[in-house]
Amino acid sequence: MKLVSLALDSVDSLHSGCTTHFSILLLKSLAGRVRLADLPLLVRLNPGVPWKTRGNGAVVLRLLYDGELGELLDVAYNLALEYSGGKRDVGVVIYKGEPWGVERLRWIYIRALTSIVTLDVATSTLDKLGGLHAGGRGVIGATASLAALGPGDDFTFELLAYRDPSLWGSERCVDRLKALHIESMLPPCTFYNVDVLTGEFISSPGGSDPVLAGFRGNCLTQLFEYSKVLCEKPHFWALFRTNQHTDAHLVELDELAPYNTGYVEAVVDGEPEVVEGSHVVVRASAKLGDVDLVFYRETGPLNRVARMLMPGDRVRALGSLRPYKPRGVSVIAVEKLWVLEVARRIVEVNPRCPRCSARLKSAGLGKGFKCEKCGYEASGLSKIRVEMGRRLTPGVYVTSRLKHLTAPPGRRRLEGLKPPLNLDVGDVLFSEAHPEPPRALRDLELSMGEPGLHSLSTI
Ligand SMILES: [Zn+2]
């Protein structure tokens, strides 16, 4: 069978639905006619883009398929329109071959992670390469995600549980104590399921989202343990491979343009300023020019670290450019900070009195010092330079609520999965309340070698 990538984006409506949910319904409907060359791929793109759908995530199904490509496009597009209530934004793209090896598609992927890709660029590229497309703005994300998660790319897993449509909008039943228990029992290969600072369960979205919960980690079969925290029976489960939490967007910024995402290396120029709302702004000079690094209150620990920065500190800041310049320079909303080098903090203090050892007072400019305690006057003494300790130490700092793409500090890179695989649709979709990982996934995990443990000390 031939390798065919079917990519989807913006298949949702304002009130409910999401592209991942739709992709699995589509996969179910194709089950008898395809096999899978990979797990369903969940591809997150530039978090700085303002007109993204929630989370800016596209899905790629890498199919082994022998049928007609135009027919596959029609089936997927018509179902997508039906699912989203006729939304014109939906995007469906089909490409035959190995898209990760096509330079132009790789370029669009990196560009869509870090900047903005126009619909024009996406469709003209597909036309040139023989790819098929249908729909509106979603074609951008779908095209961009085609070349993601190639054999050399880092990745993680997410096991997603979806709700029965009759329950959409109602409160989710999650056993939070059990979640804490399971979190504490699992090896350090899962992340972002429980807030490590507050103990809060963060795997469930709110509101009318069809997602019941999504469990994330480097390890694969162990994620299934989390199914025990749900007291609501999912409609079905699906296992995705994803670029989430891999720092895929950690690319050096080449332009300080609004909505671009990436990192700058910079030297702190000014004292941190706490502005209204408890946000912190730090002026820094980078290769591309002066920037204001902003650490929003919501970034929690990162906001607190920013308050400890001082002039001369050398940092790498990962984040997205904001569209405004309230203080005349570009603003980067920081989501991850590497403190590369802390400046020495030297303060000058008055010397002590040689007679009674009280701290001397200045007698006025150029007039030396005098002792207020014993009246001693000294003209030949000068200020003493003292090095103060810094509370801030070099290291990596993140928010407590990681953005989708941000890697937790200490996470180990995953490699060793070599598509095309040959999986049954039933190997990645489950309908039980508490599914067991199927044989094919256990074999897959074994073939990847060591489970992706990360170092506990740095989390
Ligand atoms: Zn004295």
84 CA → ligand 1 middle, Å: 82
- The burial class, CB within 10 Å (0-12 / 13-18 / 19+), for 19 is buried
Task: Summarize pLDDT for 284-308 with one digit per residue, the tens.
Answer: 999 999 999 999 999 999 999 999 9
Is 179 a member of any domain? yes
With residue 58 as reference, give the H or E element that holds it. strand 57-65
Name the band, by pLDDT with cuts 50, 70 and 90, for residue 190. confident
Instruction: Note whether residue 255 is domain-resident.
Output: no
- Give, to the nearest 10 degrees, the angle between helix 103-114 and helix 119-129: 160
pLDDT at residue 205 in the model: 86
pLDDT at residue 457 in the model: 46
Instruction: Clarify whether residues 171 and 282 are in a common domain.
Output: no
Shared-domain flag, residues 337 and 366: no
Say which DSSP state 157 is in: E
pLDDT of the residue at 269: 96
Q: Within a 10 A sphere around the Cβ of 139, how many other Cβ atoms? A: 24
Does residue 252 lie within any of the structural domains? no
Task: Identify whether residues 289 and 417 lie together within a single domain.
Answer: no
Quick one: average pLDDT of 101-124?
Answer: 96
* 118, 145, 172 - which closes a domain: 145
From 185-189, 310-314, 455-459, the region with the lowest mean pLDDT = 455-459
Are 326 and 356 in the same domain?
Answer: no
Residue 180 lies in a domain: yes
Structure confidence at residue 106 as a pLDDT band (50, 70, 90): very high
- Residues 437 and 334 placed together within one structural domain of the fold: no
> Could you tell me if residue 231 is inside a domain?
yes
pLDDT at 216 over 70: yes
> How much distance in Å is there from the Cα of 356 to the middle of ligand 1?
4
CA 372 to centroid of ligand 1, rounded, Å? 7
Closest CA to 155 of 371, 415, 340, 341: 415
> Do residue 274 and residue 352 come from a single domain?
no
Residue that is last in its domain, among 360, 377, 398: 398
Are 105 and 188 in a shared domain?
A: no
Q: Sorting pLDDT into bands at 50, 70 and 90, what band is 14? A: low
Q: What is the pTM of this model?
A: 0.92
Distance 380 CA to ligand 1 centre (A): 15
Give distance in angstroms: CA of 376 to centre of ligand 1.
5
Kindly give the distance from the C-alpha atom of residue 295 to the centroid of ligand 1, in angstroms, as a whole number: 47
Distance 385 CA to ligand 1 centre (A): 20
Mean of pLDDT over the chain: 92
- Residue-wise pLDDT tens digits, 329-361: 999 999 999 999 999 999 999 999 999 999 999
What's the distance, Cα to Cα, between the start and end of the chain in Å?
43
pLDDT band for 449, please (50, 70, 90 cuts).
confident
Which residue range forms the structural domain that includes residue 353?
345-388
Calculate how far, in angstroms, residue 388's C-alpha sits from the geometric centre of ligand 1.
Answer: 25
Q: Last residue of a domain, which of 388, 415, 445?
A: 388
> What CATH number is attached to the domain comprising 337?
2.40.50.1010
Q: Quick check: is 357 in a domain?
A: yes
Instruction: Give the pLDDT confidence score for residue 450 in this predicted structure.
Output: 67
411 and 430 co-located in one domain: yes
Task: Answer yes or no: is pLDDT of 456 > 60.
Answer: no
Residue 209 lies in a domain: yes
- Give the Cβ contact number of residue 413 at 10 Å: 13
- Measure the CA–CA gap between 277 and 299, rounded to whole angstroms: 12
Q: Is residue 253 part of a domain?
A: no
**Residues 173-189: tens digit of each pLDDT:** 999 899 989 988 888 88
Whether residues 138 and 268 share a domain: the answer is no
Strand partners, 284: 268, 291
